[in-house]
Amino acid sequence: MLRGGRRRGTVTIPSPNIWHWPEIYEIENAAQDHAGALAAELQRHAGWSGAHIVDIGCGTGYHLPLFAEQARAVTGIEPHPPLVGAARERTADLGNVIVLQGRADAIPLPGSSVDIVHARTAYFFGPGCEPGIREALRVLVPGGCLLVVDLDATAGHYGEWMRADLPRYDPVAVEAFFERQGFELARIDTEWVFGSRADLEAVLGIEFSPRVASRARQQVVGTCLPVRYRVHCLRKPRIGSGGA
């Protein structure tokens, strides 16, 4: 539950990193998942070849072209108008991509029209986001998959820095919430690999408070950063499978 009794996913949650520094966030996205472990995990759950895949909270649309290489159709959903514009600009030449303004709990698509719903660094999915989960299940076809990808704040230096900046964030409670909702969990170790030390330090500067970013810069040597992700997967029951 958020301040004022509002439920997570039913409001747009400000995202200072990508809202204020989209060009540095672009560097961050490019550094992520260098060896492709995360992409392989997503494919293991739900390959998107020939599928309709929706990216909720797509930001500037960084991941849309990758999906568009194999998918039949790709829909980016983003609530923040400047980012809707950036994602449309990025994908203007891709005939199988559209970008719509919307939110996790208000996806402007018909029911049972999507094979995969993907949401990355999607802090708007967490305790209290049941309306967003219900909405994803509404648009998914039976057997379709909701994939929520998030940073694992329990692991490594990166997790330690997250916990230092977000003392009220309880990663164990977040995981327990997803488990109660019936999600399967996988932890994926990745490495963020930057082209230069300046790039790495700039990214630390948009992700953490000045105090924590300064500590992080001292703790990291070189241009690589180990980061663990959580991938939460919920499959919509097939008709007749006895599920809800």
Ligand X SMILES: C[S@@+](CC[C@H](N)C(=O)[O-])C[C@H]1O[C@@H](n2cnc3c(N)ncnc32)[C@H](O)[C@@H]1O
Using CB under 6 A as the binding criterion, the count of chain residues that bind ligand X stands at 21
Among 27, 45, 51, 57, binds ligand X (CB under 6 A): 57
Among 46, 58, 174, 227, binds ligand X (CB under 6 A): 58
Burial of 224 (0-12, 13-18, 19+ CB in 10 A): middle
Nearer to ligand X, 17 or 75 (CB): 17
The distance of closest approach from Cβ of residue 184 to ligand X in the complex, given in angstroms and rounded to an integer, is: 21
User: Which positions from 168 through 197 interact with ligand X, judged by CB under 6 A?
Assistant: none
Residue with tokens 């560097």: 27
Nearer to ligand X, 151 or 216 (CB): 151
Residue with tokens 């070189």: 222
- What Cα–Cα distance (Å) separates residue 67 from each residue in 32, 80, 161? 16, 21, 31
- What Cα–Cα distance (Å) separates residue 22 from each residue in 26, 29, 38, 55, 87? 6, 10, 22, 18, 11
Assess 124 for contact with ligand X (CB under 6 A). Answer: yes
Two tokens at 9?
A: 């996913």
Nearer to ligand X, 92 or 221 (CB): 92
For residue 149, what is the enclosing H or E element?
A: strand 140-151
The distance of closest approach from Cβ of residue 118 to ligand X in the complex, given in angstroms and rounded to an integer, is: 8
Cβ contacts of 170 within 8 Å, gap of 6 or more: none
Stretch that binds ligand X, among 34-42, 53-61, 170-178, 194-202 (CB under 6 A): 53-61
User: Which positions from 84 through 113 interact with ligand X, judged by CB under 6 A?
Assistant: 103-104
Assess 78 for contact with ligand X (CB under 6 A). Answer: yes
Burial of 24 (0-12, 13-18, 19+ CB in 10 A): middle
Binding site for ligand X (CB under 6 A): 9, 12-13, 15, 17-18, 29, 56-59, 62, 78-80, 83, 103-104, 120-121, 124
